[in-house]
Each structure stands twice: as structure tokens, then as C-alpha cells.
Amino acid sequence: MKITIRLIVSLVFIIALVAVGFSSYQVRAEKMRLTAELERRAIILAESLQESIIPLIASNSLSRLNRLVERFGNRERLKGVAVYDQQGNILAVTPGLASKIPQPLPPAVKSTAENQPVGSLMRIDDKETYFYALPFSEGDKITGTLVLFHDASYIGVRLEEIWKHNLLRFLTLSVLIVAITLLVIRWSITGPIAQIATWMRDMRSGKGKIDQLVSPRGDVLAPLISEVTHLAKSLAMARARAEEEAKLRLKAESVWTANRLKEYMRAELEGKKLFLVSNREPYMHAREGSNIRCIVPAGGLVTALDPVMRICDGMWIAHGSGDADREVVDAEDKVRVPPDEPAYTLKRVWLTKEEEDGYYYGFSNEGIWPLCHITHTRPVFRLEDWVYYQKVNEKFAEALLKEISDEESPLVLIQDYHLALLPLLVKEKRPDAKVALFWHIPWPNPESFGICPWQQEILMGMLGADIIGFHIQFHCNNFLDTVDRFLESKIDWEQFSVERGGSITLVKPFPISVGFEGGSDKAAATKERESLRDTILEEIDVRAKYLGVGVDRIDYTKGIPERFGAIERFLEKYPEFVGEFTFIELGAPSRTHIKRYHDLTGEIEAAADKINWRFQIKGWKPIVFLKAHHGHEKINRFYKAADICMVTSLHDGMNLVAKEFVVSRNDEDGVLILSQFAGASRELKDAVIVNPYDIEGMADAIHFSLNMDSKERTERMKWMREVVKEHNIYRWAGDLIAELARLRISSAEN
């Protein structure tokens, strides 16, 4: 009620201010108009009288002058006429007026002295009167002044009418606006808020459901509804997680969850922030027409680390690559993300086109990437690219050092091969910082790494970190062998550490993973799968009994041409699946500036067209290639609907697509065909493991998977889900942060 009263008073006050302002302006304008009109009449009359008065004064005919003055003094709104000589003495005046005007009349004297007309308002006989004094002359000599007196009281009456009419308008408008406002508030705000309050009370008591909230009319409360819905979902999820945690405690299990990681990080970090640095940003802002859209870039790094950053409210420093990125950041190049539920800070580092070409496309992706993956693509190393690589690493170091300047013993997690020099650059300025470098791609053997002309500089930069993490132990071993080959250092093979220059770097495996939030009812998931399958087949305009899916960045390490070759061979060997099996490839374009990647896209499209031309029949084709950036929700639909998922990397650090597919299968069905050269094959041993270079073997694996007994499919998927559940992203983050925390504690004790 108090808010309503304040609103009504505020509205009336504002309306009154506007009414008074406009009325004052209208009154002032009307007064000026009427006065100007009166002045024009006075000028015309005075000039006409002047022609008759001058001869009479020259001939000293005062009696005729008085008769003339008396005759004109009876006109409408003309109160009288007076004629003065050059000394200001009255020569003639309208009867009854002489006693009401002062003698001498100052305006008349002023008009004679200055030889110019004078007009103004004055009060005569307690009435507003307009006088106009016009001097007249004979030859060059001023002989007197003619003064006209007009009744101006009607101007005041007109202005008073304006005030009365506007007061009536003010009262009418106030009543109407207040009434309409109260109705709108009741209709659009207070009523819906009451509904929301009732719904929230029911939700709090456990009686309500999220989908029972009725959307309000209009969009005034749309943001509130969105936030309240998110809050309700969060509460529902928190309640479900709490119940799950309780069940786990009863079962004495130790599965890592988001809540467990959050509590763990709160205890270990003691309020400290985690500073994460990577080339790729977790959220990219792109312009679409006049709107700005937020995009989640494809890749395992974002999939793995975004949940961790949400938990710790840390800072992610990355290259701002979206064409609208600059438009959404603040003065310090920061923005809170994700847009719907801001949970941490993203700081963007800006690179010139030359820096991006040399550092990213050149040295990182034409040099280090093929060098580490050993997929028979020749690495290219150019001096100018190396110069830009150093320069950009220094730029990232500058941005990071600025953010950690006020932090005591800051914790820094650096991501991947783009920033190999960054650990040493940070340590040189902040030796108290605890730095971990996680290398997301494989590490080759020393012979292969020796191709790089700047192998020592890269190794020294990496060894600036306190911890270097790889996905699997095999890559750790390769790294230590490489250090042993190219640097003077002491390697402890029992502790898997490198001592150099008084600093010790631990080299350990941390198999990265994805989140695992638990499964829904299996029967419901099975029903959902059938519905999704029908929807997807309708979308791609294909009729098929079996669906396969592949999800990749378009990269030569992913084995997409080999995968298509296996599908072609499968249809050759097992023609009964022609018209029955369709494979959908979700390919995200990547690094298209590099010729090898550009050519690869054309190669994949040509392979798909060739196979489709060879086998397709009416209403069916074997391969559907969807080349675009796909969101997680869309990808998840294909995971759930597929009978098989193919991950055929020629060489990969981990490949989280395999784990994402397993997590999505709440129905405990589907088969994962997994390359033996992907790091995930070390954990997901119940997948159908293949050699991606063996086309015959992969074709047989597809046939084996599609004909697999449902019981075996379920058993395999259950075991893989248990592995991912146990070794999820929260455990990965917990293990890595635990290592950093121990280092920090150890350093403090020393």
C-alpha cells in the first residue's frame, strides 16, 4: 500500500510539474501575443491621429484639438488620448482622464526627450492600461507628444481563463493516469507477483512443479520469471543432489560431484581465486544482424573447464576472437559469464591480425599441433611465427600479472600448447605464484619433438610451471624423455619430476573428463530416444532403421575421411544395411585459414558426396554431413538418438566426445566405437576399440556394433558410465587443484 501511495503521489507531482510548466509557457506566450496586438493597434491609431494633431498645434487651435481628442477617446478599449507640449504640459486630454494620470507623465517626457515612441503597461484607476507615446515635430523641432491609453484588463482575464482551463485538464489527466496506472500495475505486476509468490511457496513446500508457473502477461516481469525459474531449477537440482549425496554416503561411495568439488575448493583454496589462462575463450560474442549472440566455441577445453570455473568464481583470461567481443566488455576488458547465470569473470586479450596469424595459425597450429599429433602432416616452423608466438605469450603474461598483482601466492592454471612460454614468464615476475600447465594434446617422442628448431626454449618455458599435466602416463614419459634429451636437468623417475635451476616441476597424468549429473529413469530415457530419433530423421529428411553419429572439429587428427571410408566398406561388405543405416557427421569448421584444414573440408565433403552418390536410394542416403557450429543441447539430441557413436581419432590427447556420448546415454544403450589412439581408450575399455587406419577392421566393428545383443550393449554402457561417473571432471579438477594446494602449503611451511 505504501508503494502504491508513493507511486500515486509521484505521478500527481510529475503531472503537476508538467502542467505548471506548460501553463506558464502558454500564459507567457499569450500575454506577449495580446500585448503585441494591442501595440500594433496603438501604433496605427497614433500615426493617423498625428497627421490631424500637428496642424492644429501649429495654428494654436486648442479648442479644435480638444474636440478631436474627445471624439477619439470614445473608441473600443481606448480609455483616452492626451497631447503634451515639449515641456510635458497637457495641451488636450480626454475628459475624466486628466485626474487619473500623473503630471507630468514620465513616459511622455521620455518620448519627447529621446524623440522615439515609448509603449508599456501601467495601472490607471486600478486597471491594467497600455499607453503608447509618439513624439511629433514641426520641421526639425520636436513640438510635443501624443499619448494613447488602451484598456488592457482583458489580457488578465484571458490569462486567468487559461489557468482555470489548464487546472481542469490537470485534474482530469491526474485521475485518468492514476487510474490507468493502478489498473496496469494490478494487471501486469502485483497480480503476477502474487501468482509467483504462491508458486514459490508451493515449490518451497515441495508441492509445486516448475512447469506450473504461468508466464505473466507482457514482458515486464519476463526477466524476473526467467531468474525465478532458474532459481527453482537450481533448488530442485540442489535437492536432488543432496538426496544423491545422502545415498552415496549410505553406500560409502566417493563419487566427485559439483557440490563436493565446491566444498573441497573452498577448504583448499581458502577463498583464493583460480586464474585460468587459455587461447580459446569459453564464450564468444558474435554479431547477427543488429543483435549480438553469445556462442560456446566447440572443443573439449571449454566443455571440461567451464563447470570448474562456475564453481570457484574465478577469472578466465583468453583471446577475444568474436566480432562483437569488444562491445560487451567493460573498461578493463572483462565480462561476467555465462550470460544467463553469471558465475565467473572472463578477461579478454586482444590480438592483431598479424599476431593471430603468426602465433595461432602459424606456430601453434602449423607447427606444434602436427608435431605433437604425428598424423603424417608435416610441421611448418617459420621464424616470424616464432617471434609472434613469443610476443603473444608475453601479452598474456602481462594481462595475467596485472590481475594477480594484489593476490598472495596466486593459483594459476594455464591451458595447452598455445602458451608454452607463459609459465616461465609468470614465474620470473611472481616466483610465489603456483602455476600448473595442462597440455591437452599428446606429447611425442624425443625424435619427433627434435624437429622443432626452438625445442629448448619451449621446454624451459613449460618447466617454469610447478606442475605439468598430461592426459595419460605415456605422454608424461615421452615428455620426461624429451627433457632428458634436450636440457641439462635432473629427472626423478620415481617421483616423475624435473629439477632444473633450483626449481622442481612435477609431471603427472590427469585424465580429463566431463560432468556427470546422474541419470533419469531408464524407461523415460528410452521413450525420449525414440521420439528424438523420429524428429531427427524428419529434420534430415531420411528414412533409416539405424543411426550413427560423429561429433568433431574438422581436423585431420580426427580421422573423418577414414571413418567415411569405413562406412563405405561396411555397406560394400554388408549390403543388407543399404537403406537401413545412416551416419550423421556433426562437423564444426576449424582453422579454415590454414590450407591443410581448408583442403580437408573439401576432401570430407567430396568423400560424403561420393559415398552418397554410390549408395543412396529414394528417401535414404548413407551419410549426412552437417557442417556448422552446434550447441551442446543440439549435439546431445544426436547422442541420445544414435545407435552407435564413432570416435576415430588418428591421435588424440583424450577426446571428450567419447565421454560425452557415454554420459548422454541415460537409457544405458548404444555402442561407442573408439580409436585405440585416443586417450579415452585407456579408460573406456568396454567401447569397441578400433585402429582407425584399418578400414576393414572398422567396417567389421560397425557391423559388430549394430548386431550386438541388447544385453551386451547395456552391460558395456553401464561399465563405461561407471568409469566416467567415477573419473569425472570434478575429480580431475579436484586432483589438479589438490596438487597446487599442497605445493602452496609446502611452500608456506618452508
Q: Is residue 256 part of a domain?
A: no
Q: Is residue 104 part of a domain?
A: yes
Residue 666 pLDDT > 50: yes
Residue 749: band (very low, low, confident or very high) from pLDDT cuts 50, 70, 90? very low
Q: Is residue 744 part of a domain?
A: no
99 and 35: one domain? yes
Q: Is residue 266 part of a domain?
A: no
Residue 748: band (very low, low, confident or very high) from pLDDT cuts 50, 70, 90? very low
Distance CA 276, CA 318 (A): 8
Instruction: Provide the mean pLDDT of the chain.
Output: 85
Q: Is residue 364 part of a domain?
A: no
- Mean pLDDT for 263-283 is 84
Distance CA 421, CA 716 (A): 42
Q: Is residue 235 part of a domain?
A: no
CA 232 to chain centre: 23
Alpha helices in 519-655 (DSSP H): 522-540, 560-573, 595-615, 632-641
CATH code at 29? 3.30.450.20
Q: Is residue 118 part of a domain?
A: yes
- Mean pLDDT for 700-727 is 94
Q: Residue 319's beta-bridge partner residues?
A: 349
531 and 633: one domain? yes
Residue range 638-659, pLDDT digits in tens: 999 999 999 999 999 899 999 9
pTM of full prediction above 0.85: no
496 and 526: one domain? no
Distance CA 305, CA 296 (A): 12
Amino acid 445: pLDDT: 94
> Within the chain, how many helices (H) and strands (E) appear?
24, 23
φ/ψ (deg, to 5) at 543: -105, 125
538 and 443: one domain? no
Residue range 445-476, pLDDT digits in tens: 999 999 999 999 999 999 999 999 999 999 99
655 and 712: one domain? yes
505 and 592: one domain? no
Residue range 379-409, pLDDT digits in tens: 999 999 999 999 999 999 999 999 999 888 8
Helix (H/G/I), strand (E/B), else coil: 333? coil
3-state secondary structure 378-423: CCCCCHHHHHHHHHHHHHHHHHHHHHCCCCCCCEEEEECHHHCCHH
Lowest-confidence region among 62-76, 479-493, 718-732: 62-76
- Closest alpha carbon to 668 in 702, 712, 629: 712
Its domain, for residue 77, covers 2-157
Amino acid 2: pLDDT: 66
Residue range 42-63, pLDDT digits in tens: 888 877 787 777 777 777 777 7
Q: Contact 599/559 with Cβ under 8 angstroms?
A: no
Amino acid 746: pLDDT: 45
pLDDT higher for 275 or 270?
275
Residue range 605-623, pLDDT digits in tens: 999 999 999 999 999 999 9
- Mean pLDDT for 545-562 is 94
Q: Which of 125, 142, 157 is the last residue of a domain?
A: 157
Residue range 58-69, pLDDT digits in tens: 777 777 777 777
To the nearest whole percent, how much of the chain has pLDDT over 90?
A: 46
**Pairing verdict, β 581-588 and 623-627:** parallel
Number of domains comprising the chain: 3
552 and 658: one domain? yes
471 and 613: one domain? no
- Mean pLDDT for 484-502 is 92
Helix (H/G/I), strand (E/B), else coil: 549? strand
Q: Is residue 187 part of a domain?
A: no
CATH code at 452? 3.40.50.2000
Quick one: which H or E segment has residue 83?
Answer: strand 78-85
Residue 226 pLDDT > 70: no
Distance CA 114, CA 529 (A): 102
Residue 628 pLDDT > 70: yes
455 and 315: one domain? yes
Q: Contact 133/145 with Cβ under 8 angstroms?
A: yes
Q: Which of 486, 509, 532 is the last residue of a domain?
A: 509
491 and 581: one domain? no
Distance CA 601, CA 719 (A): 36
554 and 485: one domain? no
CA 664 to chain centre: 28
| Torsion sign across C-alpha atoms 140, 142, 143, 144 | positive
Q: Which of 460, 485, 509 is the last residue of a domain?
A: 509
Residue 212 pLDDT > 70: no
498 and 535: one domain? no
Q: Contact 529/669 with Cβ under 8 angstroms?
A: yes
